[in-house]
Chains A and B, each alone.
Chain A
Amino acid sequence: MPLIELDQVSKVYRMGDVEVHALREVSLTVEERDFVAVMGSSGSGKSTLMNIIGCLDRPTGGAYRLDGAEVSRLDRRQLAGVRNKTLGFVFQSFNLLSRTSALENVELPLLYGGVPARERHRRASEALGRVGLADRVHHRSNEMSGGQQQRVAVARALVTRPRLILADEPTGNLDSRTTVEIMVLFQELATAGITILLVTHEPDVAAYASRVLVMRDGRVRTDERQRARRAVDDLAATAPPDEEPPKGPPDDEPRKAPPADEPRKASA
């Protein structure tokens, strides 16, 4: 049984008189343990697809089965449960709780999953170790670089041992070396048996996936399997950040990303 089954799924946004067809009858199946990259021009419906698969949004037409269960039948509480147990998210803008330690950010899904404090602690520390941040456990999210923040986000996504990780442009705000580091993590997770759906604009990033979808105007245009590049090899080939000529901001400099709960200035 496929993990994801989309059957003629559409999403129409109505803006006054205008209808925006973000998805047009997309049918798609993704088997467990697959690593799928979703590409396509801006506005082609990639994020919309990811949000529907991630149970954050509901389609306006068609059927979506996740792990055999019809998602449209679930209420808000049950959807929260699915997101908590089955899914993990990595966002382009990291979406960590600001002024909150890495550990607590990673513990968050376990908290809502009702995991007792001790085990929560242990599993969150373990997840942070797995993304190479064992020494940054007590750093707050605003005290970390973009790459580190995204690794915390990956730790948060994997800590619940989900079946599926959804990543919408996770490397969009990162420099090339950090991008490769994050891709190493994703490939490790894929090897460990987690299904991954990853949106990207960069063919270099898509190259690490074993299947590439290209979307255009709300439809899946091409859907091809490929031999994935190994991210670890690329990482070994790149020079460490301090020997590299300054391309992007260095790894240790905190990067400004909009934190999730920062008070926002009123901007209409």
Chain B
Amino acid sequence: MIPLETFRVALRALLRNKMRSFLTVLGIIIGVGAVIAMVAIGEGAKAQVEASFASMGSNLLIVLPGSTQSSGARGGFGTMPTLTWDDLAAIRREAPAVRYAAVQLRSNAQLMSDDQNWATSVSGTSPEYFLIRSWKAARGRSLLDSDVDASAKVVVLGQTVVDKLYGAVDPIGQTVRIKNIPFEIVGVMEKKGQSPMGQDYDDCAFVPQSTFQSKIQGGLQKFISGTIFIGATSTDSTARAETQVTDLLRDRHHLDSAADDDFSIRNLTEMANAQADGMRTLTTLLASIAGVSLLVGGIGIMNIMLVSVTERTREIGVRMAVGATPLNILLQFLVEALTLAVAGGLVGVALGIFTAGRLAAKFGWPTLVRPDIVLISVCFSGLVGVVFGLYPARKASQLDPIDALRYE
């Protein structure tokens, strides 16, 4: 019998019991829908995390002063200054895997325009900082070495600060007061969005490190009251850069082998990878739960196909009497199960995409529908249909014609 005819017969049989067919594939629909939606949410979250780590900067290490050990009299890292300007110079000079190093001195301060004010984090830094974070000025310019050398009273603002203080007005050339000291706005940085922890990267202001030390922090110091940002030469060399900087600083701080580090280093690439791994595990977990519901859907198909074979025993007998071979009958029921499952799979895909879209719209969750997952889901539901349809179909094909015809 021609495949097309087999399909037509199957379709007709399914449409004859629309409600039942629908209920039968509900398991598949929900299973596939769940797979698609969950993977879409997982992938969306992963993409967002990756993007936000990428916006932190590439090949990034952050050196923080203080021990990671929080017990005893010492406070946590960042509380006690242990990094010196000489350490910074040494890192630049002696660690070959380090391409850029820059300080970020930080303080919270009130910024005032003519008619608005806004509290934000003000950082003192040098031009390398923007290279490490691959961050460019959207308008005006970024900080220059000459600004640092001259301790110029210039400031570069993040977009959020501009929005709060100036709204739609062009801030370039305007004067903003930081701790009541007037600074000239020379640039506005590109929008960066949110950090992996949800903090706004654009709520910030940058001044030259020298100006920061003299005007904001008050007085020059031997120690760096902030962190050192390091850009490694490549992604592969971040681990090497980490070792080199650790060895160098331990040596410079005269720490013997028993002593703890009096600083700590965060490897952003590693953190990003760990995060992505976590996301992947979560996605896999969600997808396997959804996969189980697909299997349950398959059992539902088998159940209904068995009922259908019993109900249609006489029809099978008639078909056999007029010349249907066991293979014809087998294929008829198999195609029916397959059609049911694939149709359920397709509806499930639609449902999954729809659900992902609604979630994205309603909660602002990022979602990403992966075409390969869609294809795999549909194929898998087809497989479920064949596997679970095989037993009922075989049962039908092995009926004895005379028993089938006599079946009451």
Contact = CB atoms under 8 A, between A and B. Distances in A.
Interface stretch (A79-87, A198-206, A216-224, A248-256): A79-87
A111 B325 contact: no
Q: How large is the interface on A (under 10, 10 to 19, 20 to 34, 35 or more residues)?
A: 20 to 34
Q: How large is the interface on B (under 10, 10 to 19, 20 to 34, 35 or more residues)?
A: 20 to 34
Contacts of B402: 51, 56-57
A90 to B, nearest CB: 10
A245 B322 CA distance: 38
A95 interface: yes
Given A56-B402, A99-B16, A260 B325 contact: no
A68 interface: no
B318 A83 contact: no
Contacts of B115: none
Contacts, number: 80
Nearest to A52: B402
A123 B250 CA distance: 96
B327 A156 contact: no
Given A83-B323, A111-B1, A263-B311, A97 B318 contact: yes
Interface in B272-294: none
B408 A83 contact: no
A77 B311 contact: no
Contacts of B320: 56, 80, 83
A109 to B, nearest CB: 4
Residue from B2, B322, B327 whose CB has the most chain A CB atoms within 10 Å? B322
Given A83-B320, A261-B315, A263-B311, A77 B326 contact: yes
A80 B317 contact: no
Contact of B312 (A95, A96, A261): A261
Interface in B319-346: 319-328
A109 B323 contact: yes
A111 B318 CA distance: 13
Nearest to A77: B325
A97 B325 CA distance: 17
Given A261-B312, A261-B314, A89 B323 contact: no
Contacts of B317: 95, 260
Contacts of B314: 95, 258-261
B325 A264 contact: no
Taking chain B's interface residues, is the majority helix, strand, or loop, or is none over half, making it mixed?
Answer: helix
A261 B323 contact: no
Nearest to B398: A76
B319 A77 contact: no
Nearest to B9: A111
B51 interface: no
A145 B317 CA distance: 23
Contacts of B327: 77
Nearest to B324: A112
Contact of A111 (B5, B16, B326, B401): B5
B264 to A, nearest CB: 73
B109 interface: no
Interface in A156-214: 156, 160
B408 A112 contact: no
B21 to A, nearest CB: 13
B323 A95 contact: no
Interface string A96-130: 11010000000011011110010000000000000
Contact of A56 (B1, B5, B319, B401): B401
Given A54-B321, A77-B327, A112-B324, 17 more contacts: A56-B401, A57-B401, A80-B320, A80-B323, A80-B326, A80-B328, A83-B320, A84-B322, A84-B323, A89-B322, A108-B319, A109-B322, A111-B1, A112-B323, A113-B323, A260-B315, A264-B408
Which 5 pairs between the two chains have the least Cβ-Cβ distance?
Answer: A84-B323, A261-B315, A109-B322, A112-B323, A80-B325
